[in-house]
Amino acid sequence: MDPKTINPLKLLSEGFKRDFVKVVFESEKFSELLMDLSSEFVEENIPVVDEENQLELALLLMESVKLDTY
């Protein structure tokens, strides 16, 4: 990519990153993806037999995900 283009693109990215993070966190698709991935992770990696506990653990993992905008 042309070096003259990179700097303005970085400035635009910095200016819009908080708005983008807000859109991502408010997205139903993002929530569904996190739930699917956290459930799969628990199922494959953590030997919890009780389904209710599996779900609770998946939710806790899902809630631990953060997008840093700073």
Give the model's confidence band at 34: pLDDT under 50 very low, under 70 low, under 90 confident, else very high. Answer: very high
What dihedral angle (degrees, nearest 10) is formed by the CA atoms of 40, 26, 21, 64? -40
Closest CA to 68 of 21, 36, 35, 13: 21
- Using a cut of 0.75, tell me whether the model's pTM lies above it: no
Structure tokens at 52: 């209710």
Give the model's confidence band at 1: pLDDT under 50 very low, under 70 low, under 90 confident, else very high. Answer: low
48: helix, strand or coil: coil
Closest CA to 41 of 24, 66, 65, 23: 65
